[in-house]
Amino acid sequence: MCDKNLKMKLARIEKVLSQADLAIITGVTRQTIGLIENGKYNPTLKLCLKICKALDKTLDELFWN
């Protein structure tokens, strides 16, 4: 994962979702989404998959270089 997960943030903005919206969809807190986007939290594979599904992206597109 990048130092800052800009790919995830851009994908979220592209879908016109706030951090809170994405948090509700994926079942985590808004703070967790913020920490992931800032590179301060390493999400589980399960959470990565939920985020990908919510943002219509693949794991490769969001989490791997």
CATH code of the domain containing 21: 1.10.260.40
pTM over 0.95: no
**At what angle are helices 6-14 and 30-37 packed, to 10 degrees?**
130
Q: What is residue 44's DSSP assignment?
A: -
Classify residue 1: in a domain, yes or no.
no
Distance CA 45, CA 65 (A): 16
The encoded tokens of residue 20 equal 């809170």
- Number of other CB atoms surrounding residue 12 within 10 Å: 22
Tens digit of each residue's pLDDT (9 = 90 or more) over 24-58: 999 999 999 999 999 999 999 999 999 999 999 99
Domain that holds residue 55: 6-59
Burial (CB count within 10 angstroms: exposed 0-12, middle 13-18, buried 19+), residue 3:
exposed
Q: Write down the pLDDT at residue 38.
A: 92
Classify residue 22: in a domain, yes or no.
yes
Q: What is the count of structural domains for the chain?
A: 1
